[in-house]
Amino acid sequence: MKFSRLLLLILTSLFLVTACSFAPENDLLSERPADFPDMRLEKSRYLLGLEGLEPIQINAETIELYRKAQKAFITDAVFTQNDSNQQIVFSGNFGFAVIDTATNNLSMDGGARIENHQDRFTIVADQLTWDNQERTVTGEPDTLVTLTIREHDILEGTGFSGDLSTATFEFLQMKRGRLNYE
């Protein structure tokens, strides 16, 4: 009888220990400035204003706004930016992002894709950061970024920096690449 109770206690303890997950949260998710947002929107649209340009329209699964911290936390989103003739200039998606609502700087995580339809290039990475004032996109020094230009030039590397206003790109370290000259 004592043996069966001991066995039952061991099995129950083992079940509880293996059923719990201690995996760390996404770094950006854990940065929330408060336990509850000032406003939470589901299946909503957020307009990211850009001085002198048409705004970027972000359609998201969830948007959480924190007024005092001047942050917006956005999950599972697609975005587009049109020109004044309503032609798509940029489009893309990301799994998660934090927008600084004072500067409109944007940190994307969980897979990010930016496509320029006019200059015909695509940037893909697990993580990207948009600097609104400089109009640049960067990757962390160790983040692998893939740049595809006109569907046939493919570059991959780390330490990525791209100026979207001039379509100028740099990598600190190239991993692989192919350029075709016409």
Q: Using the CB atoms, write b or e for 94-106: b if 16+ within 10 Å.
A: bbbbbbebeebeb
Q: Which residues contact 129 (CB under 8 A, 6 or more apart)?
A: 105, 106, 107, 108, 137, 138, 139
* Domain assignment of residue 18, yes or no: no
Other Cβ atoms within 10 Å of 71 Cβ, number:
19
Averaged pLDDT, 124-137: 94
Helix (H) or strand (E) holding 41: strand 39-50
Q: How far apart are CA 144 and CA 125, in angstroms?
A: 6
| pLDDT average, residue stretch 92-101 | 94
pLDDT of residue 56: 86
* Domain residue limits at 32: 24-178
Question: Is position 16 within any domain?
Answer: no
Round to whole Å and give the CA distance between 127 and 4: 52
**Residue (of 72, 66, 20) closest to 45 by Cα position:** 72
What does the alpha-carbon distance between residue 96 and residue 109 come to, in Å, rounded to a whole number?
A: 5
Determine the length of the chain: 182
For residue 128, pLDDT over 80 is answered with: yes
Percent of the chain with pLDDT over 70: 81
Which amino acid is located at 148 in the chain?
A: T
Domain for residue 101, yes or no?
yes
Residue 30 clears pLDDT 60, i.e. is over it = no
For residue 181, what pLDDT band results from cuts at 50, 70 and 90? confident
Residue 15 in domain: no
- The answer to whether residue 19 scores a pLDDT higher than 50 is no
What is the residue type of 10?
Answer: I
Mean pLDDT of all residues belonging to the chain = 84
Count of alpha carbons within 13 angstroms of residue 59, beta-carbon side: 6
The string of pLDDT tens digits covering residues 150-163 is: 888 999 999 999 99
Residue 17 maps to a domain:
no
The alpha-helical segments, DSSP class H, found in the chain are 2-19
The answer to whether residue 129 scores a pLDDT higher than 90 is yes
- Residue 179 — pLDDT band, cuts 50, 70, 90? confident
Task: Write down the pLDDT at residue 46.
Answer: 83
Domain count, the chain: 1
In a domain, 53, yes or no: yes
More confident call, 32 vs 51: 32
Kindly report the pTM of this predicted structure: 0.79
Residue 6 domain flag: no
CATH number at residue 122: 2.60.450.10
**pLDDT for res 91:** 96
